[in-house]
Amino acid sequence: MPAIPEFVLRKLYVPDSLTSTDGGFTFELNNTFAPVTLTGLSLTLDEILCNTGLISISIPGHAEIAVGGISDDHPFNLAVNVVVKVHVACQAPRIQMVIRVDTREAGTLQFAIAPKHTESAVLDNKQKKASLFTRLNRKVKYVNHVFHVQQDAQHPQYHFAPPANWMNDPNGLIFWKGNVHLFYQYNPFEAEWGNIHWGHAVSKDMLHWKHLPIALWPDAKGADAGGCYSGCMVNNNGTPTIIYTGVFPEMQCLATSPADDLLYWQKRPQPVIDAPPSDLQLEGFRDPCVWQGTGGEWSMVLGTGVTGVGGAVLLYRSKDLIDWQYMGILYNGNMHQREGLSTGTMWECPSFFPLGDKWVLIISVCGLQGPMYTIYYTGQYLVDRFIPDGPPRLLDNGEGGCLYAPQTFVDRKSRRVLIGWLREARSVADQVNAGWSGAMSLPRLLFLSKNGELCSTPMIETESLRDQHEMLLKPNQLSEVVRGASMEIVIRIPPDTEKWSGVHLALPGGQDEVEGILIGYDCINSAVVVDCRHAGGVISAMPIKSSGFQDQLLHVFVDGSVIEVFVEDQLPISARFYVSKPQAMRVRLVGDASVELWKLKL
């Protein structure tokens, strides 16, 4: 369909319909063109993108509908000659309002309206009186919301989580001027994906985190008007520099900070890469990972998918982080492969780095259909191409891709550290009701095994959190001292066991007895198992090779609604669980295991 001129689109706006209300304003649109299917609506008010959570629409005879709930999966059908009232819970524009409507039939329709002087003046007088109260009221509501979230027993204590609302990918991990900085994909308005900003936190030990002000937010006139998506941070000759993906469309953007506390960021007005290679038909173009070579030249890898081929990683080079040259496809998968682990149609959040005598490529697999999970390759990096030394392997063995979009960095002790997003296993409705979503994994130290496989272990610094201690040595013995949802468990399983052995995290007594989690070793199937099916989660199983001569050690961390299980010379299992009273959980010994417990305290 040909583009509709903006002067024609402006006829959708009902003149003089802009009206002040308590805490906001309304206006009307009259669809005089044709029936249309809305998949999204957004407003930019005086060059500031309005949070969609503050916008709702209504038509005569129907209740208001939140704009944030309109999507491709949940469209809004609008008949012809129907007046739509738009309700906005923020200050009305004084200079310009840009209305953007996404439709199935005509694509994106966008036009600008300049409120009449009389409309603006009347609104100004009313809103000047209300603005101070409104801002104060919003701050009070946010503080109350954060307080409510922090009181939630399912909210992690020593795993990083947002103060409230939505969080996904870790971004910009870096050790800078004595501190570790963690940025992350953040929706500051609600516990659902959307309105993506860069949240920010800082820590000395990666266990005690301090929340800082938002680092990046969408610029209505910039390349990131649709959101500040994932990216990384580098040290450019003493200048902290963020390279990230702005949308829509997907472009690579850059920002620098003039201060060592990294609280203020200045965006480059133009993207550093404004489009993908023209000779490729791609499914995506995002999530830069940047590093500096020994000669001072910068390299960047980007996640993508080649249509009809599969997931891929693109390679770029630059001398100054501004002018980038496309070097080709670093490596790509095969979506048609039927044997082994599927590598899907699109790769997100690539992380590419040297470790020991190999290079490691970590990618998160996604697509329009199929599961999401994270895989890795080890191999050699030769002449702008990655040559893997074997098939892909899972980076984490949690069922359903619990750990996703991880990022790595080198800490002050020169250790390669990985932190990933631990996705929720509960419904979107439950996340919204809880008021928060998402947690980060514990920092994991990466190393290569004797066989050249990637392994990880928790930092020894976690031992500083240990408080009360207890041992369980008899079958069915129940913990008395250590209880609750913040604990460390070391399970020791003898090599000659013929029983399912491990622990049962239970809520003893009453109707809550049916809730619980099983963590242990299944000797029949030679697998480590984390079973959260009776706690709102799923079951995960990781086959392992037992030596037959040594005890098998399982190192478990439990925190609110998070479980991480580390196995010697293996990769971990991550899981989410949701019991009614996590603060009442106790540990019961199962089978031939012996158990050492600590209550953890920040």
Query: Using CA atoms, how far apart are residues 381 and 385, in angstroms rounded to an integer?
Result: 6
Sign (positive or negative) of CA dihedral 568, 569, 570, 571: positive
**Annotated active-site residue in 102, 169, 522, 559:** 169
What residues contact residue 555 under an 8 Å CB cut-off, 6+ apart? 458, 488, 489, 490, 491, 565, 566, 567
Query: What secondary structure, in 3-state letters, does 48-115 show?
Result: EECCHHHEEEECCCCCCEEHHHCCCCCCEEECCCEEEEEEECCCCCCCCEEEEEEECCCEEEEEEECC
Cβ atoms 75, 39 nearer than 8 A: yes
Query: Using CA atoms, how far apart are residues 357 and 576, in angstroms rounded to an integer?
Result: 35
Whether 169 is catalytic: yes
- The distance from CA 106 to its chain's CA centroid, rounded to whole angstroms, is 31
Tokens of 585: 């959980």
Cβ atoms 53, 195 nearer than 8 A: yes
Query: Using CA atoms, how far apart are residues 250 and 273, in angstroms rounded to an integer?
Result: 9
User: Which secondary structure element, helix H or strand E, spans residue 139, and what is its range?
Assistant: helix 117-150
Q: Look up residue 295 and give its DSSP letter.
A: T
- Amino acid, single-letter form, for residue 166: W
DSSP codes of every residue in 458-483: E-GGGGGGEEEEEEE-STT-EEEEEE
Query: Using CA atoms, how far apart are residues 332 and 381, in angstroms rounded to an integer?
Result: 14
Identify which of 256, 228, 397 has the alpha carbon closest to the alpha carbon of residue 321. Answer: 256
Residues with a catalytic annotation lie at: 169
